Structure 1
Amino acid sequence: MNIEIPKKFKPVINNARQVALNTFRPISRKYDRAEHQRPKELDMVASVLDGFNEGDPANSAGASQTGKGKVQEDGGVKNGANMMTCLGALEFCYGDTGFLLAMPRQGLGNAAIAAVATDEQLERFKGKWAAMAITEPGAGSDSAAIRTTAKEDGDHYVLNGEKIYVTSGERADCVVVWASLDPKLGRAAIKSFVVEWGTPGMELARLEKKLGIRASDTAAITFNDCRVPKENLLGNPEVDTKGFGGVMETFDNTRPLVACFALGVAKASLERTRELLSEAIEYDYGKPVDNASAAEAELYRMEAEWEAAYWLAMKAAWMADNKQSNSVEASISKAKAGRVGNYVTLKCVELAGSIGYTEDELLEKWARDSKILDIFEGTQQIQKLIIARRVLGLTSKELK
């Protein structure tokens, strides 16, 4: 395994780091306190990112670019958009996770469109900011429990139901909605539909007040006889289990991405804690950890956990770029990074003492922000279940 970051990625990484430090960090506390107020500063950052993607689409960073890696004809491998996006997201979250989630045209819905849309759909939805709506009041981790329906009616599908915890649900131009063509058929009938704001029957029910990522709006949306054109269905309209597998492939691209969200906020916490403790600790990586102070040893352990999670995410992204099946690796990276992110940010608050628990430092905010990264895109428990099924060769019915 080549552990050197490709040179072509370094400008993106450096630019993202500068945005994190010079744009995100200075306004981070402001929008944490002013929940639901749209950070207008992000429009400029998003425009720059759009321009970069247009200028070099083969090696661009952004949710809309994921899922587009190809194996080269000479049999070589490709480091492409998935890895680039993961590395860029890590640096952005080093600044503020909520801002990345609130970035125009970089929502998880954009990643879903990039993963499964046809060429015609990619062109039609180009430039749109897409949120993704999966969770319902009675359906979280169990996708088969989705009760939002899509009934065929002429040239349209009629959607009815409610979606909750839709990241950027209010601000986005459109929402990728998971709905069932027939709830009796379970997962096989679940499809994803692009529903644009302004469509009659689509209404904002409320915005959630949250523990963390407060700069990002999180919406509840209702659909009452909402008519969506048939051409807005992503993927194959046929009802079969293979079709649902195609819908789920979105997560093979987005789970390593969310893993890097967690890695970014954990990295920020680690570095800040090292700075705060620098006068009390002389870092010496040459001595046995058993000879270090308790605080120093804890920092070494956290750094080791972070490094392990980082390379698991890079492997999953690399596989996606090379069109290799990475469902297990994507779940492993998400499970590991989500857990490490929570562990590191909370432990850093503890090590920093009273300073870490107050609003004088961003450590307490990073600890709050990190929790969601172990929950959305599949909880820790669900990732372990997916991994176990694949390792043991069992179906979802055989291992629940």
Structure 2
Amino acid sequence: MINLENPKKFRGLVHQARQVAENVFRPVSRKYDRSEHAYPVELDMLAAIMDGMNDGTTGEGAGAGKLKQDNKHKGEGVQNGTNLSTVLSLAELCWGDVGLSLTLPRQGLGNAAIAAVADDEQFKRFGGKWAAMAITEPGFGSDSAAVRTTAIKDGDEYIINGEKIYVTSGERADCVVVWASVDRSLGRAAIKSFIVEKGTPGMEVVRLEKKLGIKASDTAAITFTDCRIPASNLLGDPEVNVEKGFAGVMQTFDNTRPVVAAMAIGVAKASLDRTREILKSLKIDAAYNRPLKTSAQLEAQLYRYEAEWEAARLLTLRAAWMADNGQPNSMEASMAKAKAGRAANAITLGCVEMLGSLGYSEDELLEKWARDSKILDIFEGTQQIQQLIVARRLLGKSSAQLK
């Protein structure tokens, strides 16, 4: 049975993450929001410290650590491992700044993908590198099965051709996890993920995107033209299993969607905390011993937002906890991502509205948090995609039966 309190062994890690958020991220948050594409040099020393924190643990990392469906300890009692520690610490980091959290070297979504499916040899080669994730293409967004980038086997190599857009950390990362089809005639079952290292001939960053939020994080468009990589850079099973279909590649999302949900929880909590402080300074103080119907309108709205945030937090912890305990969590991961993404958008924008001109101006970080939150309901699968996945799981329908 899941315990709703943070495990004692993670409290030090969570405290350290809050200190980083408050003392490293917050002071430079506005600086890098205004200087899009400038590299936050303040993070280099922090990244080295976090690497040490990861190396000094038995798997529970400070960021995107060795995320896996942990079947090794299945049946040995309740396990609180890497997945849970990651979402707890990342929520704290994103309480400071989402864009800076995404910019931490070696803590990216590509790292989570490698950790989820890489074998021991691949993890030894790439586990210490900064990895970006390249899925989206100009011709599609939410439908990951519509991948047009190809990876054709040629002896001991694969030749990759195609274009990827909205690649988080695409310019800064040491390598990119690229989704490509090994045989487009076989449909989604032929989609595999490949690690392409920076500097590989045929790989080119063609532009950096200007964005609504998370401006501290670089977002790149990358082309692959006859880009050759070793066959050993393919993640997972090289065989195309039509019966298994897309499941092998999609397993990555079961680990990364709770991670994105944790980011949403963090930025939503930041907005709630600051709004509560400002309202208190205006003599509007939350009184939780009073019935909702007798509360002031602003107080009542704040209570509703807090309830939404708590629901999202618990769903996220459940999805991560299930992964740590070897339980299939595809539906729960999508539920957490859908709820947290939607709640973060509603809460951050709602807090801006509640505080009027103070929430809308750059005197406060509230307007920035509202902008930053939008992407968290989009990447790693939009709100609509998550709802579709949940519906398929509940109804026992395949993707062909329920579109």
TM more than 0.5:
yes
1:338 matches 2:357: no
Per-residue deviation, residues 60-85 of structure 1 (Å, max 9, x unmatched): 23213211634537621210000000
Query: 2:139 and 2:279 mapped to 1: Cα distance?
Result: 45
Contact 2:60 2:83 in 1 (8 A): no
Structure 1 CA distance for aligned equivalents of residues 43 and 247 of structure 2: 34
> Contact 2:188–2:245 at 8 Å: present in 1 too?
no
Q: Please give the alpha-carbon distance, in whole angstroms, between the structure 1 residues aligned to 2:345 and 2:144.
A: 25
Q: Compared with structure 1, are the counterparts of its residues 36 and 367 closer, same or farther at alpha carbon in structure 2 (3 Å cutoff)?
A: same
Contact 1:93–1:100 under 8 Å retained in 2? yes
CA contact (8 A) 2:78 2:325 kept: yes
Q: Deviations over 1:99-142 (max 9, x none)?
A: 01111001111001101011110111131100000000012111
Q: Aligned equivalents of 2:21 and 2:63: distance in 1?
A: 15
1:21–1:181 Cα change, 3 Å: same
2:193–2:249 contact (8 Å) kept in structure 1: yes
Moved more, 232-241 or 202-211: 232-241
**Which of 254, 258, 261 is 1:259 aligned to?**
261
For residues 186 and 246 of structure 1, the distance between their equivalents in structure 2, rounded to whole angstroms, comes to: 14
Deviation at 1:8, TM superposition (A): 0.6
Other-structure match for 1:182:
183
How many Å separate the matches in 2 of 1:122 and 1:213?
A: 28
On the 8 A contact 1:64/1:113 being kept in 2, the answer is no
C-alpha contact 2:94 2:266 (8 A) present in aligned 1: yes
Name the SS for the 1:141 alignment partner: coil
Q: Which residue of 1 aligns with 2:376?
A: 373
Work out whether residues 87 and 260 of structure 1, in 8 Å CA contact, stay in contact via their aligned partners in 2: yes
Aligned equivalents of 1:126, 1:375: Cα separation in 2: 27
Judge conservation of contact 1:68–1:114 (CA < 8 Å) in 2: no
Q: Secondary structure at the match of 2:167?
A: strand
The one-character-per-residue Cα deviations of 1:149-196 (angstroms, maximum 9, x if unpaired) are 011111110000000000000000000000001112111000000000
Q: Which one of the candidate residues 355, 358, 366 is aligned to 2:358?
A: 355
Partner residue, 2:109: 108
- Alpha-carbon distance in structure 1 between the residues aligned to 2:269 and 2:219: 25
CA-CA distance at 1:57 after TM superposition: 2.9
Residues 214-261 of structure 1 deviation map (CA, whole Å, 9 limit, x = unaligned):
000000000000001100000111112426312111110111110010
- State how far apart, in whole Å, the 1-side matches of 2:70 and 2:76 are: 14
Q: Tell me how far apart the structure 1 counterparts of residues 223 and 74 of structure 2 sit (CA, whole Å).
A: 47
Q: Structure 1 residues 78-87 or 275-284, which shifts more? A: 275-284
4+ aligned runs moved over 2 Å, structure 1: 57-62, 68-75, 241-244
The TM-score with structure 2 as length reference comes to: 0.97
Matched letter for residue 187 of structure 1: R
The root-mean-square deviation of aligned C-alpha atoms, in Å, is 1.1
List aligned pairs for 1:7-22, cutoff 5 A. 7-22=8-23
CA distance in 2, matches of 1:15, 1:166: 29
User: Which residue in 2 is equivalent to 1:90?
Assistant: 91
Give the match for residue 275 of structure 2. 273
Cα separation, 2, equivalents of 1:398 and 1:186:
16
SS in 1 for 2:227: strand
Letter in 2 for 1:361: E
Contact 2:99 2:372 in 1 (8 A): yes
Q: Secondary structure at the match of 1:210?
A: coil
Structure 1 partner of 2:100: 99
- Give the 3-state SS of the residue equivalent to 2:246 in structure 1: helix
Deviation larger for 329-338 or 61-70: 61-70
Structure 1 residue ranges without an equivalent (≥5): none
1:25 is aligned to 2:11 = no
Distance 2:46 2:260 in 1: 20
More displaced, 1-10 or 35-44? Answer: 1-10
1:40-79 superposed matches below 5 A:
40-67=41-68, 69-70=70-71, 72=73, 75-79=76-80
Q: Tell me the residue number matched to 1:292.
A: 295
**Secondary structure, in 3 states, of the residue corresponding to 2:159?**
strand
Identity %: 67
Letter in 2 for 1:283: A
In the TM superposition, residue 282 of structure 1 has moved relative to its aligned partner by 2.6
Q: Is the 8 A contact 1:71 1:78 kept in 2?
A: no
Asked if the contact 2:292–2:300 (Cα under 8 Å) also holds between the matched residues in 1, the reply is yes
| Contact in 2 for aligned 1:148/1:180 (Cα 8 Å) | yes
Choose from 387, 392, 395 the match for 1:389: 392
Is the CA contact (8 Å cut-off) linking 1:235 and 1:243 kept in structure 2?
A: no
Is the partner of 1:63 in helix, strand or coil? coil
Of 249, 252, 263, the match for 2:251: 249
Q: How far apart are the structure 2 equivalents of 1:174 and 1:197?
A: 5
Q: Quick check: 2:169–2:217 contact (8 Å CA) kept in 1?
A: yes
Cα distance in structure 1, aligned partners of 2:119 and 2:213: 35
User: d(CA) in 2 for partners of 1:163 and 1:357?
Assistant: 34
Q: Secondary structure, in 3 states, of the residue corresponding to 1:65?
A: coil
The residue number in structure 2 matching 1:4 is 5
